[in-house]
Structures are given as structure tokens and as C-alpha cells.
């Protein structure tokens, strides 16, 4: 926490540490201030810290965290109780869902048995044998063998039933998937037997029911399968009668197909392969006849297991979706609780672990916050000179301490700001009165004012000696009025030199260099307003437009000269109070428009028009030669820089042309003629390149387009810049060489790529537009439809049809 306070201290001192220049001037002053603050802070810090009860503060934080964790624990217990109820309900829902799913599957198996029986009804052998009465003839045994093969096929395809056999009411035939006989009375007992009843009674039971399908439970069944005697306990015989004459509502009572189902398979479906056999289960057919019961349902008729007063079971009843079977099940409460406790045990374990963790975390966090707060209070209060003996708590103590520190910081910040302003005024005054003639002094000026002034005017307003006492007030009023007149977009600097001169340094932008009338009017309003307010005539002068920090003093001297002329010529009026040299009103000999025109004319080989530009410069110079004389070097290098930039372009590579050099002893017209001659030679190079290098330039332009047409941002301006020619010449050259415009040629390339992608890929219109350079799907759709007369999708569809 001590480190945190150091960060706070650094933020407080931030205004003092920025700017190495100011820091060098005020380092000694700051050191004294900080030492004084430390002495004041130590006088009261110890007394306050002693009043803080360390034990009470720790117990406060411990109680807070324990309270939070107790609330969380109580919420967790409520959550556990709710989770118990949800888990109990989910366990019963899961068992009920499993019971329903199993019963639907069992009904599906019975439905499949019925479907197989209907399939056998269509067999000729079955239809023949059901009409035979009494004993079979030898020639009719072939029908028994045919039906045996049919049952074998069923047993291969259907394995839910352990065995399938077929019986007839009018004769003594018996057919299974492994054996056949025409004497069931002799076969019964030795190879097949159901419980302890006789063959006659068994056959009577099978054909004694009127339903199309019914389930017949038993205690045991003995049958021969593949030569092996098999005994099954608690089997269920599913007796199915086929339809008569294709009428589903009519039952053929002369034949019955019996499927032997093991009870374990039914339990596996209803209770799961590892189902809890403690469950009470009763299975009923559609007539509410009990098919079988398991668990407690086997005692008596099974009704005791479903008594309402028995709380040891959770009950569920479900009727199958096919309305064939209905099941009643009772799940042991002990089993349900076992499933619930598997989950609840884990939740309870987490709760106790969370309780232990809560206690440990409460101690750790309370100790940590106590140490942090105690360290912060000790550190902050010891460094604050506030009287905070009435603090209610630690936060109130810190609040009062920081408030006092902030107040102290603001006081020192105000003092520093005042010193900064005094230093800036001193530097500005020295720059104007003595000048900035070295690079070091100019760099120092830029560092303090954070500006790079290129063009400017210097204005001086003289304050009469009789008004020396009002100088600060007049200076402030002048600055306020000047700020209102110039606005935020034209910031200025000013300084009160001594008590007699208010000096303004007014930066000017490049666009305002040749337009000083507006500045003249605003400065006139300033002087007029001050004179009217104070009843005093303020002599003033303003310089011409200056350039570069090295000329600051020269402009100041010029403004002083104008001011002195005012005092001599106009002693009783505010009228024409300054003289602005004529050169500041004159347009520049070489401006940005001239340089841009010259560049374009040379690159287009327009020799005549380029020569006219130079004629215009020479004509303007001769018209105002005395005023323009001081700008001759500036105008020469402006034109020379344009030609130097042209020589660096690719089209002029290899040229042996040299730039002319400036000489002060040569007339301006001669200098311009040397520049004109170079410009005309450059035009000649361009013209020759049009003739001799058209093929090379054409290959360069076409190659560039073919390599970059997929870029949606490709423009003529970008291409001309990369190739090294003017945009105007690019348009002319493409039109001359290809017979079409730049945009049309670029569109042809993109259309070709789009057609290729449409015919060879499965990309969407958006993807095709992106990869072919159209930028967006809408633009691609519009351009493609305009050129081809059909949409991109129709174009692709027609091609596929042709394929």
C-alpha cells in the first residue's frame, strides 16, 4: 500500500515533472516546498494514527467478510434444498420416462408379431392346412415343411420372441421353426408342455379366446428347439389370430400363431437392462387383465402393492401409445433416495468445503484489507497537514487528508502556473526585443511555446507613461478584445514589456499571408475600442508579414518604426494609426496554383502554355519590381523545387538535365529564363517519350492494370503516381492506345475475371464481386447486367445447361 501512496504522490507532482526546461528553472524551489510540506505533515500524523484502534479495524473487516460469506452459505443451503426437490422430481421423471419408453417398445414388438402373422396369412400352405380336418394325407406333408421354412425366416429376422409355433383348430398339426408334427397329442408332453395341463386343455386355452391378440402368462414352459429341450420360467405366450379374408376387423379362429416371450425381456424393456428389480410392476392387457406382476405385485393379486397408504413406493401408471398394454409401477423410495443422495452428497460436500473456504478467505481478506488500509492511513495521514481528529471512520479520515492534499496541490499548481507565464513572457519579450539568431535559441522558443510559427505579424501598442498604473488592466483588456476579434482559430501571443508597450505576436496561415486587410481592420477595432473606453490615444504599429523565427526582431523593429511615424504625424487622432507595407498586400509571385499548373503542363508536354506561365511571372515582377525584389530568391527556389521534383519521376530517369543555380548578381528575368528553358526541355523529353517509349509505357500500364485490377481501391490517380506520369496524361495515353477510357478498360478486365469465376467455380455473387475487384455485390450485379444483358446467376445457369 505504501507503493500505492507513492503513485498518488507522483500524480500530485505531475504538473511539476513535465517539461525539462521548466524543471531546471524551478528544481530548487520545488525541493524547498516539499521539505516544508513534510515538516507540517509529521506534526499531526502520529497523533491521528494512535487514535485508530487496530483491533477494532481488523474485527470490522472480518465481520464484513464473514457476513457476506454467511449470506452466501445460507443461499447455498436454500439452493441445496431446492436441488433436492428438483433431483427427486427428475429421478421419478426419468423412471417414468424409461417405463413409458419401454412399454412403447414392447407394444412395438407386439405390433411386429401381428404384422408377421398377417404375412403368414397370405401363404398358400397356411390357407390350405387350416381347411384340412382330421388327419393329413401323405401328399399334404409338403405344406407342413413349407410353413416350417416360413417360421425359420421369421426367427432369423425377429429375435425378441424365444420361440414361434403355429396350431390349427380343425386338425392336430403343430409347426415350429425347428419341428413339425401332424399329431400334436403325441408330440405334447415329450417335446412341448405348458405348465402341467394336458394337450387338449392347452389347445382349448389357445383357441378359447376371441381377441385377435392376447397374452397368456404361465409358470413354466418346456419346448424343443434345435434338438435341445429348453425350459423357461414365467413365460408369456402371445397368441395372435390372423385377419380373415383381408378384413382387419374379422378374426380367423381356425389358426393361431404363438410367440413365446421371456418375462426377463419384458422387465429389461420396462426397467432397463440393469433395472431395479425391487420395483413393483403390473402389466395389463387392453381388457385390464393382469398379464404378469413383479416384485411385491406377485403377492396375491398385486393390489396390496398399490395401496394409497403405503409410503414406501412412488407410483406411476402409463398406457401404451397403441392402447395394447397398460403398466402400473411402484418405485422403491429407498431406490429413489439412493439416486438422489448420489447427487446431494456431492452438493453437501461442496457446501461444507465452501464453508471452510469462507472462513479461511474471511481471515485472509480481512487481514489483507486491514494491512492495506492501515498502511495507507499511516502513510497518507503522516504526509498530510490536515487536522482530522474528528474523523468518523477510516474513509472519512482519508477523505479529509486527500482534500487537504488536493487543496495544497492546487495552491502550488497556481504558483507554478504563474511562474510559467512569467517565464513565457520573459522568453517572448527577449525573442522580440533581442531576436532569435541561433538554432539553439529558436529550439528553446519552440519547446516552451510548443508551436512552430512560420508566418506572422508583430503589432505594438504604446501605453502612455501617465497610465503606468493602469498598464496591467489595459494589457488584460487588450488581450481579451484581441481574443474576441481573432477567434479560436487564430491564437496569438502577447507580452507587456515594462509598463509602456503591449506587444502582440500574431501567427498567420499560408492562406492569410497575402490577405492582411482583415487583420488590419481587426487591429483598428482593438485600438479604437480601447481609446473609447479609457479616453486615451494609444499609438500603435503593425509590421508586414514575416517568415521564420529568425525575423521576429526585424518585424518588431518595423512595428516600432510604424508606431513612431504615427506619433510624429498623428498626435491628436486615432485615424490612420499604422503603415502596412505594400508588399504584404501583393499576391505571391509563385503560389500553389502556379506550381500545380506547371507540373501538369510539363507532364502533358504543353510547351506553349508552360512558357506563358513564366511570361506571367516576369510581367508581374516588372510591374512591382521594387516591392518584389526581396522575394526574388523565394520565387526562384519555388519554381526550381517544382522542376527538381519532376526530374525525380520515372519518366525523366536517365536525363542529363541540370538544375540552374541562384545568383544574387543576376537579374530576375535571366533567372526565370533559365528555369523556363529547363521546363521546355522537360516538355521535350515527355514528347519524345510519347513517340519512342509508347510500347514500353503501354506494357507498363497494361501490366499494372492486369496485376492490380482485382483491387477495388485502384484509381487513375494511384496508377499515375506509381507509374510516374500525370493523371491527365494517363487518360490521354490509354485512350490513344486502347481506343477506350481508363474506367472502361478497367471494367473489361474485371468482367473477364468475373466470367471466369462464374464458369469455373461455385462462388457466390458476393465472393465473385470481391475477387474480381467490383467491391460490392450490388455494383457487380449492375455492371454485369449492363454488359451481358442477363444477371450473373442466369449466366452461370445457361452455361451449365450447355454443358
Backbone φ, ψ for residue 66 (5° rounding): -65, -40
User: pLDDT tens digits, residue range 779-800?
Assistant: 888 888 888 888 888 888 887 6
Average pLDDT over residues 151-160: 80
With bands split at pLDDT 50, 70 and 90, how would you rate the model's confidence at 168? Answer: very high
HSE (side-chain half, CA atoms, 13 Å) at 684: 9
pLDDT higher than 60, residue 391: yes
pLDDT higher than 70, residue 152: yes
DSSP state of 548: S
Q: What is the pTM of this model?
A: 0.39
How far is residue 111's CA from residue 393's CA, in Å, rounded to a whole number?
A: 82
What does the pLDDT read at residue 692?
A: 55
Q: At 587, is the secondary structure helix, strand, or coil?
A: coil
Q: CB-based burial of residue 140 (10 Å sphere; 0-12 exposed, 13-18 middle, 19+ buried)?
A: middle
What does the pLDDT read at residue 410?
A: 75
Tabulate helix, strand, coil % of the chain (nearest 5): 65, 15, 25
Backbone φ, ψ for residue 452 (5° rounding): -125, 90
What does the pLDDT read at residue 673?
A: 92
Least Cα distance to 367 among 55, 647, 789, 632 occurs for 55
How far is residue 427's CA from residue 497's CA, in Å, rounded to a whole number?
A: 11
What does the pLDDT read at residue 513?
A: 55
Q: Would you say how long the chain is, in residues?
A: 803
Q: At 788, is the secondary structure helix, strand, or coil?
A: helix
**Residues of 197-230 as b/e, b for ≥16 C-beta within 10 angstroms?**
eebeebbebbbeeeebbbbbbbeebbbbbeeeee
* Range picked from 194-203, 302-311, 320-329, 556-565 for highest mean pLDDT: 194-203
pLDDT higher than 60, residue 53: no
**Lowest-pLDDT range of 303-317, 335-349, 354-368:** 303-317
pLDDT higher than 60, residue 14: no
How far is residue 196's CA from residue 95's CA, in Å, rounded to a whole number?
A: 37
- Cβ contact 299:254 at 8 Å: no
Strand 220-225 relative to strand 243-244, pairing? unpaired
- Cβ contact 256:207 at 8 Å: yes
With bands split at pLDDT 50, 70 and 90, how would you rate the model's confidence at 239? Answer: very high
* Range picked from 68-82, 191-205, 306-320 for highest mean pLDDT: 191-205
HSE (side-chain half, CA atoms, 13 Å) at 712: 10
- Please name every residue paired with 353 in a beta bridge, in sequence order, or none if there are none: none
Least Cα distance to 401 among 136, 767, 655, 37 occurs for 37
Percent share of the chain, pLDDT over 90: 4
With bands split at pLDDT 50, 70 and 90, how would you rate the model's confidence at 305? Answer: very low
What does the pLDDT read at residue 505?
A: 84
Higher pLDDT, 726 or 639: 639
User: pLDDT tens digits, residue range 455-466?
Assistant: 788 888 888 765
pLDDT higher than 60, residue 48: no
pLDDT higher than 60, residue 35: no
How far is residue 102's CA from residue 97's CA, in Å, rounded to a whole number?
A: 8
pLDDT higher than 80, residue 515: no
**Lowest-pLDDT range of 30-34, 205-209, 305-309:** 30-34
Residue 403: alpha-carbon gap to chain centroid: 41
With bands split at pLDDT 50, 70 and 90, how would you rate the model's confidence at 711? Answer: confident
Least Cα distance to 351 among 88, 67, 72 occurs for 72
pLDDT higher than 60, residue 743: yes
- Cβ contact 256:206 at 8 Å: yes
User: pLDDT tens digits, residue range 86-124?
Assistant: 777 777 777 788 888 888 988 898 888 888 888 888 888
Amino acid at each position: 500500500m505504501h507503493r500505492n501512496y507513492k503513485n498518488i504522490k507522483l500524480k500530485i507532482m505531475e504538473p511539476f515533472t513535465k517539461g525539462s526546461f521548466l524543471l531546471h528553472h524551478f528544481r530548487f524551489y520545488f525541493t524547498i516546498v516539499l521539505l516544508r510540506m513534510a515538516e507540517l505533515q509529521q506534526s499531526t500524523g502520529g497523533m491521528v494514527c494512535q487514535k485508530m484502534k487496530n483491533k477494532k479495524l481488523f474485527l470490522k473487516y472480518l465481520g464484513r467478510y464473514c457476513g457476506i460469506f454467511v449470506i452466501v452459505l445460507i443461499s447455498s443451503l436454500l439452493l441445496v434444498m431446492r436441488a433436492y426437490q428438483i433431483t427427486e422430481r427428475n429421478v421419478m421423471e426419468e423412471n417414468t420416462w424409461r417405463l413409458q419408453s419401454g412399454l412403447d417398445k414392447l407394444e412395438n414388438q407386439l405390433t411386429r408379431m401381428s404384422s408377421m402373422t398377417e404375412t403368414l396369412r397370405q401363404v398358400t400352405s397356411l390357407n390350405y392346412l387350416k381347411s384340412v380336418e382330421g388327419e393329413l394325407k401323405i401328399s399334404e406333408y409338403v405344406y407342413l415343411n413349407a410353413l416350417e421354412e416360413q417360421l425359420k425366416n421369421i426367427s432369423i429376422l425377429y429375435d425378441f420372441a424365444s420361440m414361434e409355433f403355429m396350431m390349427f383348430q380343425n386338425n392336430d398339426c403343430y409347426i415350429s421353426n425347428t419341428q413339425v408334427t401332424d399329431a400334436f397329442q403325441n408330440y405334447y408332453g415329450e417335446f412341448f408342455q405348458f405348465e402341467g395341463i394336458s394337450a387338449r386343455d392347452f389347445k382349448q386355452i389357445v383357441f378359447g379366446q376371441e381377441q385377435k391378440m392376447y397374452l397368456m402368462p404361465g409358470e413354466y414352459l418346456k419346448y424343443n428347439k434345435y434338438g435341445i429341450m429348453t425350459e423357461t420360467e414365467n413365460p408369456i405366450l402371445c397368441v395372435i389370430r390372423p385377419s380373415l379374408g383381408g378384413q382387419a376387423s374379422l378374426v380367423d379362429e381356425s389358426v393361431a400363431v404363438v410367440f413365446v416371450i421371456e418375462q426377463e425381456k419384458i422387465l429389461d424393456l420396462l426397467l432397463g437392462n440393469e433395472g431395479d428389480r425391487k420395483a413393483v410392476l403390473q402389466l395389463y392387457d387392453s381388457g385390464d387383465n393382469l398379464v404378469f406382476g413383479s416384485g411385491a405385485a406377485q403377492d396375491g393379486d398385486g393390489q396390496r402393492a398399490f395401496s394409497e397408504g403405503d409410503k414406501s413406493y412412488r407410483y406411476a401408471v402409463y398406457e401404451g401409445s397403441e392402447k395394447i398394454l397398460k403398466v402400473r409401477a411402484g418405485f422403491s423410495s429407498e431406490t429413489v433416495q439412493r439416486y438422489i443422495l448420489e447427487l446431494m452428497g456431492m452438493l453437501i460436500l461442496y457446501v461444507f468445503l465452501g464453508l471452510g473456504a469462507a472462513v479461511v478467505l474471511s481471515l485472509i481478506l480481512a487481514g489483507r484489507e486491514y494491512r492495506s488500509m492501515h498502511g495507507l492511513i499511516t502513510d497518507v495521514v503522516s504526509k498530510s497537514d490536515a487536522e482530522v481528529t474528528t474523523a468518523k471512520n477510516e474513509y472519512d479520515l482519508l477523505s479529509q487528508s486527500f482534500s487537504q492534499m488536493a487543496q495544497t496541490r492546487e495552491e502550488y499548481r497556481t504558483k507554478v502556473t504563474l511562474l510559467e507565464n512569467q517565464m513565457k513572457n520573459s522568453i517572448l519579450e527577449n525573442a522580440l526585443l533581442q531576436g532569435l539568431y541561433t538554432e539553439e535559441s529558436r529550439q528553446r522558443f519552440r519547446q516552451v511555446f510548443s508551436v512552430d510559427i512560420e508566418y506572422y505579424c508583430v503589432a505594438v501598442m504604446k501605453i502612455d507613461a501617465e497610465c503606468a498604473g493602469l498598464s496591467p488592466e489595459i494589457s488584460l483588456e487588450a488581450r481579451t478584445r484581441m481574443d474576441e476579434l481573432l477567434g479560436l482559430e487564430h491564437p496569438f501571443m502577447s507580452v507587456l514589456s515594462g509598463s509602456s508597450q503591449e506587444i502582440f505576436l500574431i501567427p498567420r496561415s499560408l492562406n492569410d499571408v497575402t490577405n492582411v486587410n482583415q487583420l488590419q481592420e481587426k487591429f483598428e477595432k482593438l485600438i479604437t475600442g480601447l481609446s473609447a473606453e479609457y479616453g486615451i490615444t494609444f499609438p500603435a504599429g503593425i509590421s508586414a508579414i514575416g517568415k521564420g523565427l529568425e525575423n521576429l526582431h526585424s518585424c518588431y523593429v518595423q512595428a516600432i518604426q510604424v508606431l513612431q511615424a504615427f506619433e510624429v504625424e498623428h498626435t491628436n487622432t486615432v485615424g490612420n494609426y499604422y503603415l502596412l507595407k505594400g508588399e504584404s498586400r501583393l499576391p505571391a509571385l509563385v503560389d500553389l496554383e502556379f506550381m500545380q499548373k506547371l507540373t501538369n503542363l510539363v507532364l502533358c508536354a504543353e510547351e506553349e502554355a508552360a512558357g506563358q506561365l513564366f511570361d506571367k511571372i516576369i510581367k508581374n515582377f516588372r510591374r512591382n519590381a521594387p516591392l518584389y525584389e526581396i522575394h526574388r530568391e523565394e520565387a526562384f527556389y519555388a519554381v526550381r523545387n517544382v522542376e527538381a521534383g519532376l526530374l525525380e519521376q520515372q519518366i525523366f530517369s536517365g536525363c542529363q538535365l541540370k538544375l540552374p543555380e541562384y545568383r544574387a548578381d543576376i537579374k530576375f528575368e535571366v533567372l526565370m529564363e533559365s528555369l523556363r528553358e529547363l521546363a521546355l526541355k522537360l516538355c521535350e523529353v515527355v514528347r519524345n517519350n510519347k513517340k519512342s517509349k509508347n510500347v514500353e509505357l503501354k506494357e507498363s500500364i497494361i501490366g499494372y492494370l492486369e496485376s492490380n485490377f482485382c483491387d477495388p481501391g485502384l484509381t487513375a490517380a494511384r496508377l499515375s503516381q506509381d507509374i510516374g506520369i500525370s493523371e491527365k496524361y494517363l487518360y490521354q495515353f490509354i485512350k490513344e492506345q486502347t481506343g477506350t477510357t481508363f474506367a472502361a478498360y478497367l471494367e473489361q478486365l474485371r468482367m473477364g475475371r468475373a466470367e471466369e469465376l462464374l464458369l469455373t467455380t461455385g462462388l457466390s455473387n458476393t465472393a465473385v464481386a470481391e475477387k474480381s475487384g467490383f467491391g460490392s455485390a450490388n455494383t457487380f450485379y449492375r455492371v454485369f447486367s449492363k454488359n451481358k444483358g442477363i444477371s450473373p446467376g442466369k449466366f452461370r445457369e445457361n452455361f451449365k445447361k450447355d454443358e
